Structure formats: C-alpha cells, structure tokens
A and B are shown apart, each in its own frame.
Chain A
Amino acid sequence: MKNITKIGAVSALSLVIGASAAFAENIKIAFIDPLSGPFASTGTNGLHQFEFSADYMVNQNGGVLDGQMFEVVGFDNKISPKESLIQLQVAIDQGIRFIAQGNSSGVANALTEAIDKHNKRNPDSRVLFLNYAAVDPALTNDKCNFWHFRFDANADIKMDALTDVMVQNEDMKKVYIIGQDYSFGKAVAAAAVANLTAKRPDVEIVGNELHPIGKVKDFTPYARKIVASGADAVITGNWGADMLGLGKSIIDNGFTGPIYTYYAAGSGITGAFGESGKGVIRLIGEGQVNPPPTPEAAAFYTAYKEKYPDGNVDQTRISNVIGMLAQAINTAGTADDVVAVANALENMEFDSMWGSKLFMRPQDHQLIQDMHIQAHTNEGVTFTFDNSDYGMVVESTVKMASMDSPTTCEMKRP
C-alpha cells in the first residue's frame, strides 16, 4: 500500500514537472497586485485586462518569435510592499522574467529596489519591471534604474497637462486643492500649486488641504468649506470611496464648477455618480475610449465586454504594455535575455490603438504619450462604464505631454 502511494506521488510529481516543462515555451508575465482585501476590485480588474490583452493581441495572432505565447500569472500582494517582495521571489523562482505591477507607489518603490539588487547579483535570472500605474515621480527620477519601465504618465506629467488645459479658462479665478493625507495626495497638491502659480499667477489658490485617507465618513464639512471659499474649480487626486464621497458631497452642496480628478471613473464610481456628475467631473489620464479612436480599439473593447460583461477597459495602458513588450521581444529576437528586450523597449516608438503615439524615453524609461482631459457624461458615449448610461468622453488633448520635461535620473546601464 505504501509503495503504491509512493509510486503514485512520484508519478504525479513527474507529471507536474513534465507538464510545466511542456509549457515552458510560454513567456510568463507575473502580475503582482492586490487580488484580495479592500483593493481587490482594482487588482482583479487589472489582471483581467492583462490576460485579455495577452490573448487578444498576442496569442490569437500566433504569439511572438516562433509562436511563443504570453501567459499572465497572478500573484496576490495584498497591497503590502513586504508581501510583494515575497511574491517577486516566488515569481523569479518560477523562471518568470517580466514583472507587472501598478497599484500603490509604495509597492512599486519596494519592487524596483529589490529588482535592481536582484539583477546585479544574479545576472543569469534578470527580470524587467513593467510598471503600468504607479505614478510617483521619483520612480523615473531619483530612484530610476535600467530595469524599470513606466507606462503610465507620472503625477507631474498629468498635472502639467491638466493645468495646461485649465488655465485656458479665463473665468477661473479661484482653485481649491484637496487630497488624501499621504505621499501621493501631497505630490498632487505640490504639483498643482507649482504649475498653477507658474502658468497663471492671477489664479488664487483658496484652499489646499489633506484629509485622512479612508477614514472620513462624511465629506459634507469639507464640501461646505469649498463652496464657502468661492472656488471656481477643485483639484483632487482622491481615489476609491474617498473620491466618490468627496465628489458627491461637493455636488450635493450646490457646486457647479469642474472637479478635476485623477481617478474618478470605473470600479462603480461612474455608475454611482450618474446624472449628478455630468458637467462637473473631469478626469486627466491616458487612453481615449470615447469616441473610439480607432476601429481596432472599438473591436478590442467589444471583445472585452463579451468576455467580462461586468468589466470596464479603464486602463488602456495595459494593452500598451502587452503590445510594446511583444514588439520588443520580436525586435530583440529573444525573451530570455532581458537586457536585449530592455534595449529594444528603450527609445521605442509605438502606435497605440488608443489613438496615441507612444515613446519610451531612454533617459528615464518614462513613456511619453497623449494626455486627455475627459468628461463624465451620457452624451456621445460609445462605451459606458459600470453598465450605466455614463462614461468618459475626451474633451481636450495634450499631444505627447511633457516630452522634454527634465529628469534627475542617472541611468546605469549593464
């Protein structure tokens, strides 16, 4: 009996090993983001978009090189930097060479440091860090390294583009800045103040304040202050429940001017704002969904909705990551030598189906792309969010935003 168990175990083990050997042809991408806990919806939604992009853009077209397929493997980091490093090690041990992460700059800072060290010490198993959403400017400035590539615009670029559009409104005299009390909220506030004072010295900043993150039950008192200050526009970097709570309170309090946001769309927020957010909520971001910029983008979105009827394509940059990585691997002619892939990614120009030219700046690995100011509305929306009648429609565009912006990055190349 014991022997049979042993034989069974051994044969099962060898089957597993054999199976993984058979799949070794796949090029794996480790997706390290929260898949459980309070931010699970953001993480899961991102994973779906990664898996779908890999299938739709690469695998269905015969893969890369000589038919190698992309495979996205999800790792749950519970949005903790410590847990992320453990998952990173697991991913590396599984032979994965490409790491994708986006939620929380805190996690991204920990990962980029760990990957830099790992690549120095283990030249045989180097990995690349594909950052698709962490927007802390430091990642492509003081803390930059050769292995890190950022596919989203950083907080400074977004604010630069946003204020470029804002200052065109001559009627705007007073601006109120409010955000969550942590590094990102502070970075947004600092960038807003710097940009506004430089571009429109006549605009008065009537409020600049932070509130505890995720702790505020009722935003009404903040909204009262904002209205009482006589502000013509509000800027906030809030996300999640803090975004919805703040926005709803401000609108309920009779505010009619624009609220400029970074993250007021998708994940139920668009649906919950509904009619009340129309004409008020604006969002700065990459990726144009409405009107659909190209037929390919429309087809992509339709196919995505078929697979995930409850989902949104609210992070179009994810498909840019997959597209650019595939092109870089094809150019490099290998998926194992990540230095070659990184060299191919640097300086790459790529035509995104979302209507923008993309350029991976070699000096700091910051992707330069079009920035859009989008409005929350139910008019002219082809692809709505949250299965509501509402969606984001592009109002104005800044082409190749911050193309020549300075960077303090001193890139060390292997």
Chain B
Amino acid sequence: MELILVNLIDGLVTGLLLFMLSAGLTLIFSMMGVLNFAHASFYMLGAYFAYQISIALGFWMGLLLAPLIVGVIGAGVERYGLRRVHQYGHVPELIFTFGLALLIEELVQFIWGKNQMPYSVPEVLDFTAFSIAGNSIPAFKIFMIFISIAIFIGLLFILTKTRVGMIIQAALSYPRTVEALGHNVPLIFMGVFGVGTALAGVAGVIAGPVLGTFPGMAFVLGSIVFVTIVIGGLGSLWGALVASLLIGWITTFAKSYNIAMSDILNGIGIATPENLGDSALRDLWTVTSPQIADILPYILMVLILIFRPAGLFGKRES
C-alpha cells in the first residue's frame, strides 16, 4: 500500500519532467507545424550549460541562466535557420531539425567529451524530505515537482489570460489575419520557439543531476517526447500534461511490480503450454512488465492513433 504512494510520487516526477519537454514541443508544433527533432538536444544543452555555470556560480545561477541561454540559442535557430528553410516546405524543415540534433550531440561531445559529467544535486537540497516505509523521497524530487507545476500554471496563465497569450492563440489558428491586424507574426514564432526550447532547457537543468549528464541523454528521452505529444494531441497543453503524467505512472508502475505475461494470459483463460521451452511463443510467455515497461508508451501511442487519431485532447485537423 505504501509502495503505491511512493510510486505515485515517482511517476509524478517523471511525468512532470516529460511535460516540461513536451509542452514546448507541442506549442512549437501547433504554431509552426514543425516537428522539432532537436528538441531533446536543447534539453541536453540545458543540462550541460547548467553544469558549467554551476562550477563557477553555483546551482541556482545555473537554473536561472542556462534556460535563458538555451532560449536565446533556440530563438536564433528559428530566426536564422528554420525561417530560411521554412519557404521550402515541411520536409526540409524536418531534415534541418534532424541535422541540428546530430550537430548538437557532436558539439557537446567535442566540448565536454564523451564521459559522464559530475553534475550533482545542490547541497541545500541534498537530503531526504521524508520516507514512506523505508523508501526515501529526496528533497530534490519535491523541488522538481514544484518547479514543473509552477511552470505549468505560469504557461496556462500567459496563454489564456494575457494579451500576449491571446495573440499567440490567434496566430495559432489564423496567422494571416493576425498579421493583417498589424502583429508581427514572425516575431511571435521566434518567441514561441525560444520559450519552448528554454522550457526544455529548464527540464535539462533539473533532470541532469538525477538522470545523469552525458551525450546520450537527448537520445534516451528524445523519442518518448514525441510519443507524449501524439498521445496528448498535437498542440494541446492540457493534452501534453495528461499524456506526460499517464506515461510517467504507467512506466513507473510497470517497473515496480513484476507482472508476468503468463499470469495475465492464465487470468484470461489461456493455459500455459506444456513444453514452453520448444514453444515459438516462449518469449511472449516469459516476458515480465519491468522488461517491457519502457515500450508500453509506444503501444499506447499505436492504440491512440488507431482509435483516436487526433490524440486525447487534440482537435482533428481538417
């Protein structure tokens, strides 16, 4: 029973981290129609910048400055890269961001090397907040939860309650009309891209100490972010939140409990074959949930695409 509570908290941390990445990606997609393959690379840049800054100025300055730098780089990429490529259509844009992802990974390896970086939790937060049945919840995880929730509320407020948010939302659906009304739509695009990548940078800053800061970190998280926004519905902030939490909890619970496939199959009335060793389906029968935990979101994505192609909260595009 206590373990369920612990898993709920763990899943929440994973889910909210995923949300910070997918929020930016889904905004960028809905606005520009660009699937930004390099999004997870900005997350990696956030972690590396924060590590470098934390050596000189401490963790908190890293948390403040690294996302800003990442955001400025992101805005620059939009202004001088994507905008030029945009006129040639979506495929060149896709290829551009794909190339950018590879470039950033090589660049990071070139500057910081291929080893793990000793980027760690600040001492102020390096203690156990509380324990549930012998499982300690580190204070840093509580901190992660608060940061992500604060960002979600802030984003939601800006998008729905402020003038800037209204213009952004209008530019989402009717960019031409907004432009005709005298607003600088390219500037809005650049701003959204910058903010989206800065969010990824924040995620990197607070995930780096926990999940490790190494050149493969973007690759490990990259694909799952796309899954999240597809499940949530492209362009929906709420969808991104719900899908992130869903994925966080599904993977956490699947890893925590050893649910064997044979139990499930027996449960629905299929008997285990006599000589399992020779059976062609042996792998299916012996699989356990921790082994497949990390591919469950992909299965969910396939199901969503079949039964609700627009995603959980998405509006079907005509």
Whole-angstrom CA separation of A269 from B6 in the bound complex: 28
| Contact yes or no, B117 A268, CB < 8 A | yes
Q: Report if A228 contacts B (CB, 8 A).
A: yes
Complex Cα spacing A221 to B210, Å: 13
Within 8 Å of chain B (Cβ to Cβ): is A310? Answer: yes
Q: Whole-angstrom distance between the alpha carbons of A181 and B14 in the complex? A: 23
Question: Is B309's CB within 8 Å of the partner chain A?
Answer: no
Q: Does B160 contact A (CB under 8 A)?
A: no
- The segment out of A148-156, A241-249, A327-335 that lies at the interface is A241-249
A241 engages B216 (CB within 8 Å):
yes
Q: Is the CB of B113 within 8 A of A41?
A: yes
A242 (CB) vs chain B CBs: closest residue:
B212
Which A155-186 residues have a C-beta within 8 angstroms of B?
181
Whether B113 contacts A214 by the Cβ 8 Å rule is: no
Q: Are A222 and B255 in contact, with the CB atoms below 8 A?
A: yes
Chain B 1-33, CB within 8 Å of chain A: the 1/0 string?
A: 001001100100110000000000000000000
Interface string of A225-246 (1 = CB under 8 A from B): 1011000000000000100110
B118 in contact (CB, < 8 A): yes
- Contact B116–A244 (Cβ < 8 Å): yes
Complex contacts, A38 vs chain B, CB 8 Å: 114, 215-216
Q: How far is the CB of B120 from chain A (nearest CB, A)?
A: 7
| A352 vs B224: C-alpha distance when bound (angstroms) | 49
The closest CB in chain B to the CB of A218 belongs to B14
Chain B, 130-173, contact with A by CB distance < 8 Å: what is the 0/1 string? 01011110100000000000000000000000000000000000
Question: Is A295 interfacial (CB-CB < 8 Å)?
Answer: no
In the docked arrangement, what's the CA distance between A386 and B224, Å?
A: 32
A255-295 interface with B by 8 A CB criterion? 267-269, 271-272, 274, 276
A224-B3, A224-B7 given; A41·B114 CB < 8 A:
yes
* A181-B291, A217-B14, A253-B136 given; A268·B115 CB < 8 A: yes
Number of A-B contacts (CB under 8 A): 113
Minimum CB–CB distance for B125 against chain A, Å: 12
A80 within 8 A of B: no
B220 engages A217 (CB within 8 Å): yes
Give Cα distance in the complex from A252 to B251, angstroms. 19
B214 sits at the interface (CB 8 A): yes
Please determine whether B135 and A228 come into contact, CB atoms closer than 8 angstroms: yes
- The reply to whether A221 and B256 contact each other, CB–CB distance below 8 Å, is yes
Minimum CB–CB distance from A380 to chain B (whole Å) comes to 21
Q: A225-B256, A254-B134 are in contact. Are A40 and B291 (CB under 8 A)?
A: no
Residues in A whose Cβ lies below 8 Å from that of B118 = 268, 271-272, 274, 386, 388
Residues of A contacting B295 in the complex (Cβ-Cβ under 8 angstroms): 212
If A209-B290, A224-B7, A252-B138 touch, does A218 touch B117 (CB 8 Å cutoff)?
no
Query: Is B52 engaged at the interface, CB distance under 8 Å to the other chain?
Result: no
User: Nearest chain A CB to B30's CB is how many angstroms away?
Assistant: 25
A210 within 8 A of B: yes
**Contact present for B7 and A221 (CB under 8 Å):** yes
With both beta carbons as reference points, the residue of chain A lying nearest to B288 in the complex is identified as A209
Q: Which residues of A contact B272 (CB under 8 A)?
A: none
Task: Please state if B291 and A310 are interface contacts (CB–CB under 8 Å).
Answer: no
Verify B291–A210 contact, CB threshold 8 A.
Answer: yes
Taking a contact as CB atoms under 8 Å apart, the answer to whether A40 and B212 are in contact is no
Per-position 1/0 for B99-121, Cβ under 8 A of A: 00000000001000111111110
What are 8 residue pairs bridging A and B, where the CB atoms are less than 8 Å apart in the complex? A211-B290, A212-B294, A222-B255, A224-B256, A245-B211, A268-B113, A271-B116, A274-B120
Q: What are the nearest 9 A-B pairs in CB distance?
A: A268-B115, A268-B116, A221-B255, A41-B114, A254-B136, A271-B118, A272-B116, A221-B256, A272-B118
